[in-house]
Amino acid sequence: MYCSKCGVLEDKVIDSRPAKDGRSIRRRRECIGCGFRYTTYEQIEVVELRVLKRDGRSEALDLQKIVSGMVKACEKRPVSLERIEEAAREILSSLEAGLEREFPSRIIGAKVMEALHALDEIAYVRYASVYRQFEDIGEFIDEIHLLGTRAKPSTLQPELFTP
Ligand SMILES: [Zn+2]
């Protein structure tokens, strides 16, 4: 941070303590150049991810929305809510891990499809069909055909160990 008195970039922290509300750290700093003392506050950056929709609008990425979309796809399928929530949280943290803060909806959709593919084949096809809105019926049929070759035996077995 540039010193507001002399413009020098370097400073040293002379005191550091939690602010009254406990949500930030208050730091007393001294400019290396001129000795001017000032205070800074440090807070945890609230990471808000956003979805860029097809029509160009963007909205906050909501974990609950991802979960409800997946729940809908998994209706009457042997997939527990816990597993869906866990998969949704994994999607979210994989997105948070990068530097990007805004994602085209197709990226989110692709991640959800990937997660559903691992959870339940039927749910995956359902989601894929709704998600693509039958924009390209050929592509949708390709996807169904691909299932035959991509299906992993383990994901087709009933859940024996659900609590
Ligand atoms: Zn200074």
Sheet holding 37-43, edge to edge: 11-18, 24-31, 37-43
In the reported structure, the alpha carbon of residue 14 is separated from the centroid of ligand 1 by a whole-number distance in angstroms of 15
Contact call for residues 77 and 123 (beta carbons, < 8 A): yes
Separation CA 136–CA 121 (nearest Å) = 20
In the reported structure, the alpha carbon of residue 43 is separated from the centroid of ligand 1 by a whole-number distance in angstroms of 24
Please report, for residues 2, 65, 102, 119, 142, the alpha-carbon distance to residue 153 in angstroms, rounded to integers and kept in the order given: 60, 29, 35, 12, 20
Amino acid (1-letter code) at residue 98:
G
Q: Closest Cα to residue 155, out of 87, 84, 79, 82?
A: 79
In the reported structure, the alpha carbon of residue 29 is separated from the centroid of ligand 1 by a whole-number distance in angstroms of 10
Separation CA 118–CA 135 (nearest Å) = 24
In the reported structure, the alpha carbon of residue 45 is separated from the centroid of ligand 1 by a whole-number distance in angstroms of 27
Task: Report residue 3's pLDDT band, with 50, 70 and 90 as the boundaries.
Answer: very high
Interval 22-43 mean pLDDT: 91
In the reported structure, the alpha carbon of residue 27 is separated from the centroid of ligand 1 by a whole-number distance in angstroms of 16
In the reported structure, the alpha carbon of residue 20 is separated from the centroid of ligand 1 by a whole-number distance in angstroms of 27
Predicted TM-score (pTM) above 0.85: no
What does pLDDT average to over the chain? 81
Contact call for residues 119 and 84 (beta carbons, < 8 A): yes
Separation CA 137–CA 19 (nearest Å) = 58
User: What integer pLDDT is reported at residue 151 of this predicted model?
Assistant: 47
